Each structure stands twice: as structure tokens, then as C-alpha cells.
Structure 1
Amino acid sequence: MVDQLFVDLVGSNPLLQAIVGGLVIAGLNLVGASLVLVYRDPSERALDGALGFAAGVMLAASFTSLIVPGIDATEVIVPGVPATGLLTPAPVLVGILLGVFVLDQADHWVPHVHVLITGRRRTDQTVTDSGVASVILFIVAITIHNMPEGLAVGVGFGSGDVANAIALMLAIGIQNVPEGFAVSVAAVNAGFDRRAYAVLTGIRSGLVEIPLVVVGAVAVTIAMPILPYAMGFAAGGMLFVISDEILPETHARGNERLATLGTMLGVVVMLYLDVALAA
């Protein structure tokens, strides 16, 4: 089984497992960003389809690897919540709302350039025209985007459910490839050097995702009752990013059908991975 092989290679320490998971997702982000060095002029249709696929993977993973396991965990570890009844999903739902709130506020606190693909500014945000400031805002925007992903992997491994955590790690890693590539194309269109941005992506991903993986794993290991809240929080953050950032961009240039088919394919792939890894 994949989970047993992972334990044999990495060990049974949740913190070490989480660090390895963080290295995997950061590494795949770098792989995606580096594709801009060899695939220099992708079409908008290809980018929209790829990002639709990434959104589908993350959409399914939010439910199969975070929300549902979080509800299951509530029945066991949260004091005062009965094993069955209307209150059972409450901690996860609270976590989802908190995740959405934090990502929404971050979207306002950092008036970033809405440049997941196109480099267009959002109509509800203003930014300075300074080249340096735009570069900084671009990096901060993508960093905020990646935060719930790192946290989700850490929470997954900290929960002790290795099979589920591996599925989540693979889901985030797989979607990081097309997503990292699309963001790199946007960065190049905004004036970044190809090689410089590919290197920067590797550094930024490691500096952001790996520490958050550790934070998530340590938090739920030390205080297991927060696990359902943490799973809900990570899911809420990812769902917000999917709805607020990825899907609107993939439907902005007349490629809605291809992007939707990509999303459906991503959902199917993630569901298959989830079942295969649990077998």
C-alpha cells in the first residue's frame, strides 16, 4: 500500500511526514513554474483548461480529504459534541467560515494585482504603478494564494491519517503544476525574467508552504481537538481561492466550456486517487 511505503521511507513521525509533504508540493510548484522555460508561448485555451483541471482537483480534495474527514474526526475528539446529531459538522463548518473570512480579509489587506493569468487588475482594488511595488504585490498575492495549501497538507499529516494525507499531498502537488505554470506565464507577461521567476518560485514556495505545513502538523498534534476546525479552515481557504481567483479567470476569455471540462476531469482524477490510495 502507498501509505505503508511512505511510512517505511519517511518514518511515522507526523512532523517529519509533513515536512516531506511540504517539500513535495513546493517541488511540484517549482516544476510547474519551470515549464515556462521550455513552453514559452502557451495559448489562452491551454492555460484555461489546465487551471480548470487544477480547480477540479482542489475542489474534490477540499471535500474528500478535509471536510469529510474533519466531520468524522469531530465524532471522536471534540469534547461536548455528540457522536451523531446536528452539532457533529459544526466545528468543520466554523473552520470553513473562518478560512473564508481570513482569505477574504487578506484579499482586502493586500490590494494585490489580480494576475493569476492575465495580469489584469481587479476593479475593486487599487495598486501603485511603481514597477517594484507591482512585483512585490504580485509575489504577496501568490503567497496568500498558496497559504491554505501548505496548511492543509500539514493538518492532513498531523491528523495521523497517512493515506488521506498522501491523497491531499498528491492533489495539491498535481494542481500546483498547471497552476505554477499559469502563474509563471502571467509573471513573464508582467515583465519578469523567465529564469529569475522560476528560481523565485522555488524559493517562495519553500519559504511559505513548508513552514505552514509544519505549523499545521504541530498545531493538530499538540491540540488534537482543533483538528476539525483546522481541516475546515484549510478547506474554506482553498474553496475561496478556487471561487474568487481561479474559476473567474478561466471563464474570462471565452473558454468556459474547455475550463469546465478541465474542472470535471480534475474532480474525477482526485476522486480516483482518493479511492485508490484508501484501498
Structure 2
Amino acid sequence: MVEFFQDLPPYLQALIAGIITWLLTALGASSVFVFKNVNEKILNSMQGFAAGIMIAASFWSLLQPAISYNEDSNLSWLPVAIGFLLGGFFIRALDIIIPHIHQNAVDAQQYQEGPKTDKLNKNTLLVLAITLHNIPEGLSIGVAFGGIVSGNGEATFLGALGLAIGIGIQNIPEGAALSMPIRAAGASRWKAFNYGQASAIVEPIFATIGAATVLIITPMLPYALAFAAGAMIFVVVEELIPDSQSGQNTDLATLSLMLGFTIMMILDVALG
């Protein structure tokens, strides 16, 4: 099975990996069929865990290969620096143009980001926030698989697979962290589940876009890898860490972040 997957074109590998991470989000969202409420300790620890995985993935799976791509150049850091900053500005631009609200916000109207609107309810605004979060995850998977054909020794199939596995692991609690509060607010189980899984549908889409872009313009690889890393770090700092620290479980959330970081580091080093 692994050999068959490895023989596929990188854009198909990225698409399949993105679909799997989407399905794992749906698996987490399906927890609403078993539970109605989510414990605040569990929610904060899940958010911290996801942040740890994304931080580790940003360095070992994205920034390190990007730097190694032009390691013989005195300016090997330049494409990485440019791409990293552009990734952050990209998510900031989406923040401005897409209405959304973060999970720790109480009043949807008061804490809404992006264009103000009365037409979208709080649940939809929450889904849009998590969807923004999932875009860089999809891009990172895509550029990791696309980079395999670049000749960069740091970009390997197992490394890309490890990144996809790490993102998939953190998508399980992420799906639960979105769907269960929606269920607790009074939505039906099916509606809460659909909200939760729908937030990750962008991952296979942007994974395919990321891989195809790198395949078409191979010299863009270091920029693309760093771009995905910058977008992920922006999401972590703006959303995941503040949300995980918003309750009374700051130490638990921090330890969960360290656990997620360690798991992703082990996956990348062992498989990369």
C-alpha cells in the first residue's frame, strides 16, 4: 500500500493526504454522537496539543528543508525569510476579508473579525475561523509532497508522510473542539458534526494547489515551504495559544503543547 502511494504523482499524494486529514477531522467531530459537552480542561489541552504539533512541523518539516534547499548560497536565508513573512501576511489578509470569530469569544458581534455582518450566526463564524486555520495545514502538506521531486535531499516522501500524519493526529481533537461546543449550544448532533468536518474540506484543496504550484515552478520550493510555515505560525500565535490559555488550565495547556511538539518532532526525525 505504501509503495503504491509512493509511486503516485506528488499532487495525487498531496490530495490523498489532504483527504485523510479531512476524514480525521470528521472522526473528531463525530464525538458529538457520544458526548454533548466538552470539558474545559480537555478543550484547552487539545488546543495546546495542536499548537505544539504545528510549531514543530513548521520548523522540521518546512523551514529546515527550505533553508537546506540553497545551503551553498550565502543568502540561503533570504527566500526563507521572504516566504515566512509572506505566509503571515497572507493569513492576516484572509483575517481582514473573511468574517470569523475565535472559540474563546463570548459575544459573536463584539469579537467578530473581518467584515462585520449580521447574516452569519456564531456557529458559522466559528467554522470560518477554523477553516482559515486549516488552509496553511493543507498548503504545508502540498508543498512537502511537491518538494520531493525537487532534488532537495531534505524533502523526502517519509518526511512529507510524517507531516501529514502529524497534522492528521491534531485534526482529531480539533474536530471535536469545534463540533462539541456547537452541540452544547443547542445544535443537533448532525448539524454540529457537519460544522466540524466542513472546516477541514479546504485541506485537500490547498494540499493539491500547494503541490501543483511547486511542481510547476520548482525554484519556488523554499519560498513555498517557508510560506506554509509562516502561515501556520501566525495561526498558532493568533488563535491556538490564546484559546488554550483562555481558561483556568494554563499549565495543562502548556504541557499539552510540549507533548504535541515532541510527538511531531519524533515523527519528523524518525521518518524524515
- TM value normalised by structure 2: 0.89
Following superposition, the deviation at residue 43 of structure 1 comes to: 1.1
Do 2:176 and 2:196's aligned partners in 1 also have CA atoms closer than 8 Å?
Answer: no
Following superposition, the deviation at residue 199 of structure 1 comes to: 3.0
In the alignment, structure 1 segments of 5+ residues that lack a partner are: 76-82
1:184-218 deviation digits (Å, cap 9, x = unpaired): 12322444322123134434523x11111110111
Amino acid corresponding to residue 3 of structure 2 in structure 1: V
1:172 to 151, 167, 171: 167
Map of 1:217 onto structure 2: 211
Following superposition, the deviation at residue 42 of structure 1 comes to: 2.3
Partner Cα distance (1:43, 1:59) in 2: 25
1:123-154 deviation digits (Å, cap 9, x = unpaired): 47484455x44444333222211111111101
Do 1:49 and 1:258's aligned partners in 2 also have CA atoms closer than 8 Å?
Answer: yes
2:12 to 10, 16, 19: 16
In the alignment, structure 2 segments of 5+ residues that lack a partner are: 149-155
Map of 2:191 onto structure 1: 196
Amino acid corresponding to residue 169 of structure 1 in structure 2: A
Tell me the secondary structure at the aligned position of residue 98 of structure 1: helix
In the TM superposition, what are the counterparts of 1:44-59 in structure 2 within 5 Å? 44-59=40-55
Partner Cα distance (2:40, 2:6) in 1: 40
Map of 1:79 onto structure 2: none
Amino acid corresponding to residue 182 of structure 1 in structure 2: A
Do 1:119 and 1:190's aligned partners in 2 also have CA atoms closer than 8 Å?
Answer: no
Alignment of 1:138 with 2:132, yes or no, is: no
In the TM superposition, what are the counterparts of 1:214-253 in structure 2 within 5 Å? 214-253=208-247
Map of 2:267 onto structure 1: 273
Identity of aligned residues (%): 40
Do 1:64 and 1:274's aligned partners in 2 also have CA atoms closer than 8 Å?
Answer: yes
The runs of at least 4 consecutive aligned structure 1 residues that moved more than 6 Å come to none
1:98 to 86, 89, 92: 86
Following superposition, the deviation at residue 35 of structure 1 comes to: 1.4
Alignment of 1:28 with 2:24, yes or no, is: yes
Partner Cα distance (1:246, 1:18) in 2: 25
Amino acid corresponding to residue 93 of structure 2 in structure 1: Q
